[in-house]
């Protein structure tokens, strides 16, 4: 188990503010967090160097850019060998339409999240890329009808409560 890095309430508030808007200046952060701009700058650099802040990026509108179909694909591998898993992982890493991919426990081996312009593109990926791949035994695809919640922010308030991040809903 990885050791959690020691952070305080100011760090948590700084992380939450940056997670909301990664373009905040140190002065803007200072106003939100209650520290000086120089203290915010030092803390931000430390949190970046310790890997708590992994990257900064813009969140684009998929629909406005023509990507209107989101699908999840459950994948079962043909065999459970290191070589088969590596071939499948290599395939997934090269696919630009794959936004996320997870190795799972249970009755399926992987869950992948695809974003594509339309059903035709999804069908092409499934029928010409995934199904014919030698590592794949079975696929089950679910098309998203409606996004109910799309928020990738962490529940950082839990870090301020006693007991830490374990068990708050």
pLDDT in tens, 20-62: 999 999 999 999 999 999 999 999 999 999 999 999 999 999 9
Q: What is the pLDDT of residue 169?
A: 41
Range 93-97 average pLDDT: 97
Look at residue 168 and tell me whether its pLDDT is greater than 50: no
CA 55 to chain centroid: 12
- pTM for the full predicted model: 0.83
Distances (CA, A) of 105 to 75, 109, 162, 167: 12, 7, 31, 21
Look at residue 162 and tell me whether its pLDDT is greater than 90: no
Q: Residue 29: which of 20, 18, 19, 160 has the closest Cα?
A: 18
Q: Where are the alpha helices (DSSP H) in the chain?
A: 9-20, 26-33, 37-49, 82-94, 119-125, 157-160
Long-range pairs, 41-46, Cβ under 8 A, ≥24: 43/10, 43/11, 43/14, 44/14, 44/18
Helices (H) and strands (E) in the chain, counts: 6, 4
Q: Per mean pLDDT, which of 1-10, 83-92, 148-157 is the most reliable?
A: 83-92
């Amino acid at each position: 188990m990885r050791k959690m890095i020691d952070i305080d309430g100011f760090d948590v508030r700084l992380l939450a503010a940056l997670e909301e808007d990664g373009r905040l200046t140190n002065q803007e952060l200072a106003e939100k967090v209650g520290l000086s701009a120089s203290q915010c700058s030092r803390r931000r650099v430390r949190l970046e160097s310790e890997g708590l802040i992994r990257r900064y990026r813009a969140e684009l509108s998929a629909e406005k850019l023509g990507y209107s179909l989101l699908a999840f694909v459950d994948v079962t591998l043909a065999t459970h060998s290191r070589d088969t898993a590596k071939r499948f992982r290599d395939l997934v890493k090269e696919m630009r339409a794959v936004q996320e991919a997870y190795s799972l426990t249970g009755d399926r081996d992987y869950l992948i999240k695809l974003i594509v312009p339309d059903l035709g593109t999804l069908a092409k990926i499934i029928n010409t890329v995934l199904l014919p791949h030698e590592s794949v035994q079975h696929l089950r695809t679910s098309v998203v009808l409606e996004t109910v919640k799309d928020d990738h922010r962490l529940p950082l308030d839990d870090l301020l409560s006693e007991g830490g991040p374990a068990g708050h809903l």
